[in-house]
Amino acid sequence: MEQLLCNRANEASGSLAVVDGEHRFTYRDLLAKADILAADLLEKGLGTEEPVGIVVGPGWQQIIAQVAVLRAGGTSVPIDPSAPDIQLHAMLGNLSTRFVMTTNNLSGRVSQFDVLPIETGLNPEYQTEKYGEINAMSGKSEGHRSHILHTSGSTGKPKAVQISSKAVLHLAASLPVDIGEGDKVGQLNNPGFDLSLFEVWVTLLSGGTVVHIPKSIIKDPVSFAAFLKDAGVTALILPSTLFTAVSTSTPSAFQSVRHVVSAGESPSPQAMQKVLSSDGPPENLWNGYGPTETTCLSTLQRVTLEEAECGPISAGIPVGDTVLHLLDEAQKPIVDDEIPGEICIGGPGLSTGYLNYTESNAEKFIRIEIADSQDPGRVNITRLYRTGDIGMWKGLPKRLQYIGRVDLQVKHQGFRVELEAIEQTIAANHSVRAVACLHQKAGDGPGSDCLIAVVAPANDMPLNPQKIIEWTQNRHPYYMVPNEVRVVSEIPLNSRGKVDRDALYKEIKESRPLKSTQNNAKDESSLEKITKILEGILGLSNLGPDDNIISLGLSSLQVARFLGLIKQKVGKLISIKDLYINPSIRSLVHHLHQADETNYGPSEVLQFEADTHLADDIELIPDWTSEGRVFLTGATGFIGVNLLYRWLSRPSMKEIEIACLARGNENYSPMDRIKNALKKYDLWSEDISQEMKRVIVLNGDMTQERLGLPLSDYQWLINWAPAVFHAAAKVNWCDSYNGHFAQNVQGTKNVLRVAAEGRRKTMHYISSIDVWAVTGLILGTDVVSEDGPLKVHLASLPFDTGYAQSQWVADEMVQRVRDKGLPVTIYRPGFVVGDSKTGAGNPDDFFGRLIAGCIKLGYWPHMPHQNQEYVTVDYVCDSILRIASDNRNIGHAYTLSSPNPGQITNMERLCVLINQAGFSVQEIPYAEWLEKLQAWDGFESSPCLPLMPLLAEPIIRGDTRLQTSKYSPRYDCANTLKAIGACDDIRFVQLTPDLVKKFIDFWARKGFYNF
């Protein structure tokens, strides 16, 4: 690092290194002035890597002092003089600092140290010209500790982060922000802030010029813009808060700058959009991410206007040789998109650790085993820094999406909520002295989690909790409003002076009414086992027997895993319905020891039938025309995204505009989710990217009134679209009817209203052959016709899945509205699998999970008389578009399955195909297969685990839900064959060994499964 700086001075001796008002220093001047101070340090006996405090703000004095310390072989400890004296002395004292470099004006603040005035370096008697070649003063390795920077201290007192020369050199050499001779880099950051390493050392090591920007200029956006232009600043790194402030008032302030880097906090997409869409955007706008512990910038993203408009802004890709992993709670790397994990960083920029903080080093700097990317069979020990930040991978190539902090971020009512943001809002109320916000699980029903604000009133004034709730309601969305406000005299603090949240949680828990702790001796063993299973899944401890399982926030995947592990470890089967009826651990254990079998009464049948009347009040509005526009739901799903792809890719459909309903969140915009779905199934290309301009994305939720859209958007939609394609549905083979109700029943009702209101439209509803449930097994039905009534199959419905039950209700509801005059076409595909040409299929559906799980296990369940009616997605989508293109087909239902019974692939045949495709699976009796699966060492990571309620839960005569799918009727598809006609390009494709292999190869190539 020192030698490279010397080389710059020797090669370009006349080039300016620093410009600070009237002070201008060439590279030779800079080293000459610094050497005077370096000589003084050496004369005083400065040791190698000994910390030297530099107490002065940004500017020429800070730079000369840092160069002097480097030349003398010490370690620079820059501290801005704005730090309070107590903190200043504590930081220097903790490092056993002897020497402090500062100005004459500031020397009184550090008089207890050996002070070296920086002005000494301006000795006019020192003539730069008389010195020849400049060389390093002592041999220092790349591992030399060049800097100690202090963290902000947000989680305690500031920690001293050790930065090596190697880390700074990597930063200078690896950044895509190319800095070189002729570049002028603005200097404005606190010198103790890691961004200053970019301003000073990346600039000097690259041959550029550091241009100091005075504080008075920074505070005035107009003056700031003028300064950048007049001084010829070509590169700038600034905190995102300052970037936002400047962009708000003067978005064209950066028009003369080649590189602008926003870093330090999550950027504002709106601010970046303003800058990029202004009359004078910078040539390059970057979003940078990286903690001090990994030397300033670990990732960078060049931000485009399109990304800024969609938001949120990606944190980008790792810089240079930076190593970045997302780790789950078991500290295992996460490789899939959209799965949150803790951001952990390694590589050349990694700090050697905190100085004098052994415990923190052990906690934050970890070593883990990670498979070699070039040789998966080899494991490397990798040293990483745990940032405490949560992120996820996004897109290809994989880019980091920053989500937030681990510490105080919670999931509440489906939203990620920052507790600190709520606290800051409440603290602004004049009647509040102190506040702490907690997220607490309480009550016995689903969704019973709540936000509790614990408030200490100001000056012992009476405080009305309702007023605090109203105060927050006026400033935050509903999911950030406390459900309860508790008034206390004091909020407990821990030894660090921070809010003691553990004490508050304990106090709240103890304030609950006491519940009985008597246990039946018979239940004791099961109680302990189930408690341990649940604690293991959730990563919690000390769960009580009366804790509500549902309100603990289990995901559907965790519920499936929970039920599967109960069967494996307790030897008892329970259903999703049993869990909801017996939501506490104690009541669930009691249920396990009851002999009664699940009894489906007539009340359920009545409820299913009654729910079909939900849409009876919809009145039709006439005046229908067709103008080549469609409204599509489910564009992020498998069928929906394949329909969208066909509209975008086919020359005959180039004029069609598509409005898509998709739900955005804080991590992905609706457009991002649609693009990700296209990429997931290899449907994305440069051509599709260009055609996306025909897509109008509506950020909404079909379960909400007016689809969750603003009234103006809803009114536009119902009068714009002449056709509605409803492809959205929740498909969870293990969830109950109630779990599917909102999306599949209520959602379909709301989409029907869109079709009925405004201009007259056609409604194209994608249903499923599951509407016929298990009618073959229960009722002995041989054939089902496309336009036949569904009610005759109602009695078989309780024995099928919650998904099938919801589809029956929704389909029947759609027919009722059709019978009132709405132009409706219903499509009922069989089990939709991958594309027959590309093999691109859904890895997470039943087909994908069962095949992958059985290949890994080596066994296949024998399921005679069971036809799953597999149908490729290209046949389904091509048929839908063909049928929908002719209005003569309106008013009928169309079964999309095998037109020839001889082409049906039953479960026994599928086992043969898998073996013929080159994957060995042995077919064994179902019960034996289930036993092997649950006893398998890899069970807890098996793709089949989420299917366990479907695979193991007995429904009738000992058959599980999956086994009840036998004796399926023949699905008549006369309407479909007539509507498709003689289209040579639409043909049903039977499963073959080659096609099955194509599906499996696609899953493996995309990294969904490893075989």
Give the DSSP letter of residue 831. Answer: E
pLDDT band at 591 (very low <50, low <70, confident <90, very high): confident
Q: Where are the beta strands (DSSP E) in 165-281?
A: 184-187, 209-212, 235-239, 259-263
Query: Residue 331: inside a domain, yes or no?
Result: no
Tracing tokens 């959209």 back to the chain, one arrives at: 338
Query: Is 542 found in the same domain as 479?
Result: no
Does any domain span residue 482?
Answer: yes
Cα separation, 866 vs 963, whole angstroms: 8
Ranges 374-388, 436-450, 608-622, 659-673, most confident? 659-673
Q: Of 468, 486, 510, which closes a domain?
A: 510
Do 584 and 502 share a domain, yes or no? no
**Strand intervals (E) in 721-790:** 723-726, 762-766, 783-784
In this prediction, residue 518 carries a pLDDT of 35
Please name the residues in contact with 649: beta carbons below 8 A apart, sequence gap of 6 or more. Answer: 687, 688, 691
Query: Once rounded to an integer, what is the mean pLDDT over residues 929-956?
Result: 90
Of 286-300, 432-446, 612-626, the one with minimum mean pLDDT is 612-626
Last residue of a domain, one of 573, 592, 611: 592
Q: Where are the beta strands (DSSP E) in 10-167?
A: 16-20, 23-26, 51-55, 75-79, 99-102, 114-117, 145-150, 160-164
Residue range 214-243: average pLDDT? 90
- Is 540 inside any structural domain? yes
168-184 pLDDT, tens per residue?
A: 999 999 999 999 999 99
Q: How confident is the model at residue 395 (pLDDT cuts 50, 70, 90)?
A: confident
Q: How far apart are CA 401 and CA 289, in angstroms?
A: 10
Tell me the two tokens of residue 244.
């936002």
State the pLDDT at residue 442.
45
Does the structure show a pLDDT above 80 at 599?
no
Residue 557: both structure tokens together: 């995947």
For the stretch 526-581, pLDDT in tens is: 888 888 888 888 777 778 887 778 767 676 667 777 887 888 888 877 777 777 77
* Predicted local distance difference test score (pLDDT) of residue 337: 86
Q: Is the pLDDT of residue 103 over 90?
A: yes
The tens digit of pLDDT for each residue in 963-1002 reads: 877 888 888 999 999 999 877 789 899 999 999 999 999 9
Mean pLDDT of 188-209: 95
Q: Which of 481, 510, 539 is the last residue before a domain boundary?
A: 510
Could you tell me the CATH number of the domain that includes residue 449? 3.30.300.30
Q: How confident is the model at residue 150 (pLDDT cuts 50, 70, 90)?
A: very high
In sequence order, which ranges of 232-349 are alpha helices (DSSP H)? 240-249, 269-276, 305-310
Q: Which residues of 605-641 are buried (b: 16+ CB within 10 A; e: fewer)?
A: eeebeebbebbeebeebeeeeeeebbbbbbbbbbbbb
Is 290 strand, coil or helix? coil
Residue with tokens 């950066």: 254
CA 124/CA 260 separation, integer angstroms = 37
pLDDT tens, residue by residue, 76-101: 999 999 887 877 888 898 899 999 99
The mean per-residue pLDDT over the stretch 379-396 comes to 89
Scanning 612-708, the segments in alpha helix (DSSP H) are: 638-649, 670-680, 686-691
Averaged pLDDT, 386-401: 88
Residue 805 included in any domain: yes
Phi, psi (5° rounding) for residue 180?
Answer: -155, -170
Q: Are strands 16-20 and 23-26 parallel, antiparallel or unpaired?
A: antiparallel
Quote the pLDDT of residue 156: 42
Of residues 946 and 197, more confidently modeled: 197
- Is the bond into 312 cis (omega within 30 degrees of 0)? yes
Q: Are the C-beta atoms of 78 and 100 separated by less than 8 Å?
A: no
Say how far apart CA 301 and CA 285 lie, in whole Å: 8
DSSP 702: T
Highest-pLDDT range among 157-161, 193-197, 773-777? 193-197
Summarised one tens digit per residue, pLDDT across range 691-735 is 998 899 999 999 999 999 988 889 889 988 889 999 999 998 778
Q: Which of 45-54, 225-234, 317-326, 392-401 has the lowest mean pLDDT?
A: 392-401
Query: Residue 560 maps to which CATH number?
Result: 1.10.1200.10
CATH number at residue 835: 3.40.50.720
Flag whether 895 is in a domain. yes
pLDDT for res 840? 96
Name the β-bridge partners of 415.
412
Q: Transcribe 125-154 into DSSP letters.
A: T--GGG------SS---TT-EEEEEE---T
pLDDT band at 602 (very low <50, low <70, confident <90, very high): very low
Least Cα distance to 675 among 316, 337, 181, 913 occurs for: 337
Model pLDDT, residue 769: 92
- Look at residue 16 and give its three-state secondary structure: strand
**Do 879 and 975 share a structural domain?**
yes
Within this chain, do residues 891 and 776 fall inside the same structural domain, yes or no?
Answer: yes
**Computed from CA positions of residues 462, 465, 471, 475, in that sequence, does the dihedral angle turn out positive or negative?**
positive
Inform me whether the pLDDT recorded for 354 exceeds 80: yes
Range of the domain at 569: 525-592
Q: Report CA-CA distances (Å) from 63 to 17, 55, 74, 201, 737.
A: 10, 12, 15, 9, 68
Question: Is 452 found in the same domain as 549?
Answer: no
- Residues 557 and 422 placed together within one structural domain of the fold: no
Shared domain check, 792 and 730: yes
Q: Please give the share of the chain, as a percent, with pLDDT higher than 90.
A: 49
DSSP class of 176: S
Query: In total, how many domains does the chain have?
Result: 3
Nearest CA to 599 out of 956, 993, 346 is that of: 956
- The three-class DSSP label of residue 116 is strand
Residue 516: pLDDT band (50, 70, 90) is very low
Say whether both 490 and 579 belong to one domain: no
* pLDDT for the residue 593: 67
pLDDT digits (tens, 9 = 90+) for 183-194: 999 999 999 999
pLDDT mean over 111-137: 76
Distance CA 858, CA 128 (A): 78
Bond prior to 397 in cis (omega within 30° of 0) = yes
According to DSSP, the residues that pair with 861 across neighbouring strands are 924
Q: Is 494 domain-assigned?
A: yes
Tell me, yes or no, if the pTM score tops 0.75: no
Task: Give the model confidence (pLDDT) of 417-427 as tens digits.
Answer: 768 768 877 87
**Per-residue model confidence (pLDDT) at position 536:** 83
Based on the domain organization, do 530 and 468 belong to the same domain? Answer: no
Cα 223-225-231 angle, rounded to 5 deg: 95
* Residue 446: predicted pLDDT: 34
- Say if residue 164's pLDDT is above 70: yes
Q: Which two tokens stand for residue 33?
A: 């002035």
For residues 454 and 489, membership in a common domain is answered with: yes
- Pick the range with the lowest mean pLDDT from 136-140, 398-402, 567-571, 641-645: 136-140
For residues 835 and 837, give the distance between their C-alpha atoms in angstroms, rounded to a whole number.
5
CA distance 466 to 926: 59
The predicted pLDDT at position 312 comes to 80
d(CA 511, CA 518): 20
Give the span between the Cα atoms of 239 and 266, in whole angstroms: 10
The predicted structure's pLDDT at residue 867: 81
Q: Which residue has the higher pLDDT, 521 or 389?
A: 389
Same domain as 547, residue 570: yes
Which stretch of 58-72, 665-679, 918-932 has the lowest confidence by average pLDDT?
665-679
Residue 755 is predicted with a pLDDT of 92
Average pLDDT over residues 243-249: 80
Both 891 and 812 in one domain: the answer is yes
pLDDT reported for residue 556: 65
Residues 521 and 580: beta-carbon distance below 8 Å: no
pLDDT tens readout for residues 747-805: 999 999 999 988 778 999 999 998 987 888 788 888 898 998 888 888 888 888 889 89
Asked if residue 64 belongs to a domain, the reply is no
Is the per-residue pLDDT at 940 higher than 80? yes
Give domain status of residue 763, yes or no.
yes
Q: Would you state the pLDDT for residue 521?
A: 41
Mean residue pLDDT of the chain comes to 86
Phi (first) and psi of residue 52, to 5 degrees: -125, 120
Cβ neighbours of 731 (radius 10 Å):
21
For the chain, helix, strand, coil in percent to 5 are 40, 20, 40
Residue 449 predicted with pLDDT over 90: no
Under the banding of pLDDT at 50, 70 and 90, the label for residue 72 is very high
